[in-house]
C-alpha cells in the first residue's frame, strides 16, 4: 500500500471502501494524482462538476463571496439566497407560487421531500410510493425511499409507509389510490445503471397523482442542471410536478441541495416544520447562482444535448464484444456491457488515464462536465477503446489458461 492509502485506511470511516487514487488538483476535464499522472475525468464527481474543475466562474464566485459574507443562519435572508431561489423557480417553471428550501446535499433535499409528503398525507394518506431500483440517498428518510435492499438491511426498521413498485405504468395504476400521499421518481435511474423510465411514464404519473390528490415529486439530483440536455429531466415529457429535489450539478462542486415546490405544495411547510443551520448560506448560494448563470450564458444545456448524441453514437460504433448497448440522455450515459466486467474496466480505464464509474457489474456510467467538446470526446473514445481491449485480452488469456489447465479427456470413457 502507498502512504496515502495507508493513511486513508487508518483514518477514514470504511463506508466508501478503498479509495482509487489520491487526487491533488484539477483543471477543466482533467485531474492529477499525487504522482502527477493526468486523468480525463468522465465521471465529474458523479454528475457534480458541471463546469469541470477550477472553472474561472466558480473560482471567482467562491473568492468574492468568501471575502464578503459566508454564513448568517436562517434567521436572516441574504441576497445570494434570494437570487438563487428566484433563478431556480424560473428555470423550473415553478411560477409565482413556487417556493425553495435549501439544504446541503441531495440526501437532505430528499429528506425534506419525505417530510413534504408526510405533511400532505397525514393519517388519511399514509402511503408513499417509490420505484424499484430507485436511489434517493442514504440518510434514514432517503434510505426508506431507496429500493436497494443491501443498503437498507443493516439499518432496518425503516421509517414506515414507503412502498416500492415496478417502474411500469401498469404497476403505478394498480398501486395508486386516495391513500397515497406522494409518488417520488427519478427521470433516469442513475445508480441503477442509467435506466430511463418507460415512454410516457411521467405523463401518466402526473395524470394519476392529480386524479388521486397525491404529490408527484421528481428527484432531479442527478438529472437536473442541464445534465440530460434539458434543464430538468421532467421537461422531456412536458409535465409540471408538485416538487423537485436538486443537488449535484447546481453547485458545480460546492455542497448544496434544494427542494423546489410548485403550486399548493408550497404551502405545506410552516415555520418550524423543517430547517437547516447551514442550508442556503450565502457562500453556497452565491456559487450555485454563478454556476447556473454560466450554464445559461454558455448554453451548456444545448451542449449537453448535442454532445450526448455525439457520444452515444460513437460508443455504439466501438468494435468490442464487451459493448452491448448504450442508453441515457444528454451527458448522463450508461454503457451496457455483455459481461459483468465493469469493475475490471474501470480499473483498466484508470490505468490508461480515464475516470469512469461502474454503476453495477454490467454498466459503465459516464457523466462528464457539460463543457466538453470534440477534443475530450476523441480522447475518451481512444482511452475507453484501449481499456476495453485490455479487459478483453485479460478475459481471453484467463479463458485460455482455464482451458489448458483442464484434465485431458480419457479415451476409456463410455463407448456405447
Nearest to 220 by CA among 231, 208, 229, 210: 231
**Which residue of the set 41, 42, 58, 219 is catalytic?**
219
Between CA 321 and CA 349 the distance in angstroms is 17
SS3 content of the chain, % helix, strand, coil (to 5): 45, 20, 40
Nearest to 103 by CA among 269, 304, 332, 295: 269
Q: Binding site, residues? A: 106-107, 135, 138, 219-222, 276-277
Q: How many helices (H) and strands (E) does the chain have?
A: 13, 17
DSSP secondary structure of 228-292: TSSSSGGGGGT---SEEEE-GGGGTTS--EEEEE-GGGGGS--TTSS--SSTT-HHHHHHHHHHH
Q: Binding site for pyridoxal 5'-phosphate, residues? A: 106-107, 135, 219-222, 277
Residue 299 appears among annotated catalytic residues: no
Residue 89 appears among annotated catalytic residues: no
**Which residue of the set 42, 58, 114, 135 is catalytic?**
135
**Which residue of the set 248, 262, 344, 384 is catalytic?**
248
Q: Binding site for N(2)-acetyl-L-ornithine, residues? A: 138, 276
Between CA 356 and CA 364 the distance in angstroms is 7
Residue 41 appears among annotated catalytic residues: no
Backbone angles phi, psi at 238, to 5 degrees: 65, 30
Backbone angles phi, psi at 29, to 5 degrees: -95, 20
Between CA 214 and CA 201 the distance in angstroms is 16
Q: Strands (DSSP E) along 52-179, which ranges? A: 99-103, 127-131, 162-165
Residue 368 makes CB contacts below 8 A (sequence gap 6+) with: 29, 41, 42, 43, 44, 331, 376, 380
Block residue for cell numbers 436572516: 76
Active site residues: 135, 219, 248
Amino acid at each position: 500500500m502507498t502512504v496515502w492509502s495507508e493513511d486513508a485506511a487508518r483514518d477514514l470511516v470504511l463506508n466508501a471502501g478503498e479509495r482509487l487514487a489520491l487526487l491533488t488538483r484539477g483543471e477543466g476535464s482533467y485531474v492529477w494524482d499525487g504522482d502527477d499522472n493526468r486523468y480525463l475525468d468522465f465521471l465529474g464527481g458523479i454528475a457534480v462538476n458541471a463546469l469541470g474543475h477550477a472553472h474561472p466562474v466558480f473560482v471567482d464566485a467562491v473568492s468574492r463571496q468568501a471575502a464578503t459574507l459566508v454564513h448568517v443562519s436562517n434567521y436572516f435572508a441574504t441576497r445570494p439566497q434570494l437570487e438563487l431561489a428566484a433563478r431556480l423557480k424560473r428555470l423550473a417553471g415553478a411560477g409565482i407560487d413556487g417556493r425553495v428550501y435549501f439544504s446541503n446535499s441531495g440526501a437532505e433535499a430528499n429528506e425534506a421531500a419525505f417530510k413534504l409528503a408526510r405533511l400532505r398525507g397525514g393519517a388519511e394518506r399514509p402511503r408513499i410510493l417509490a420505484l424499484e431500483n430507485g436511489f434517493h440517498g442514504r440518510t434514514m428518510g432517503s434510505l426508506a425511499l431507496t429500493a436497494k435492499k443491501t443498503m437498507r438491511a443493516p439499518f432496518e426498521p425503516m421509517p414506515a409507509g414507503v412502498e416500492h413498485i415496478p417502474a411500469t405504468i401498469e404497476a403505478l395504476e394498480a398501486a395508486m389510490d386516495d391513500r397515497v400521499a406522494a409518488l417520488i421518481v427519478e427521470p433516469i435511474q442513475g445508480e441503477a445503471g442509467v435506466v430511463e423510465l418507460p415512454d410516457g411514464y411521467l405523463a401518466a404519473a402526473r395524470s394519476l397523482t392529480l386524479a388521486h390528490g397525491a404529490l408527484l415529486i421528481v428527484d432531479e439530483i442527478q438529472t437536473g442542471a442541464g445534465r440530460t440536455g434539458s434543464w430538468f429531466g421532467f421537461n422531456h415529457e412536458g409535465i409540471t410536478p408538485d416538487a423537485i429535489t436538486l443537488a449535484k450539478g447546481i453547485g458545480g462542486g460546492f455542497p448544496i441541495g434544494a427542494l423546489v415546490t410548485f403550486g399548493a405544495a408550497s404551502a405545506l411547510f410552516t415555520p418550524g416544520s423543517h430547517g437547516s443551520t447551514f442550508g442556503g448560506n450565502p457562500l453556497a448560494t452565491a456559487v450555485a447562482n454563478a454556476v447556473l448563470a454560466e450554464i445559461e450564458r454558455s448554453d451548456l444545456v444545448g451542449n449537453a444535448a448535442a454532445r450526448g448524441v455525439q457520444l452515444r453514437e460513437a460508443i455504439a460504433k466501438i468494435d468490442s464484444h464487451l459493448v452491448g448497448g448504450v442508453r441515457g440522455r444528454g451527458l448522463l450515459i450508461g454503457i451496457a456491457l455483455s459481461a459483468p466486467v465493469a469493475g475490471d474496466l474501470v480499473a483498466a480505464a484508470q490505468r490508461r488515464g480515464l475516470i469512469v464509474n461502474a454503476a453495477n457489474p454490467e454498466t459503465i456510467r459516464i457523466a462528464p462536465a457539460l463543457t466538453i467538446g470534440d477534443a475530450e470526446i476523441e480522447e475518451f473514445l481512444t482511452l475507453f477503446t484501449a481499456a476495453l481491449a485490455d479487459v478483453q485480452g485479460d478475459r481471453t488469456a484467463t479463458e485460455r489458461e482455464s482451458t489448458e489447465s483442464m484434465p485431458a479427456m480419457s479415451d476409456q470413457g463410455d463407448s456405447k
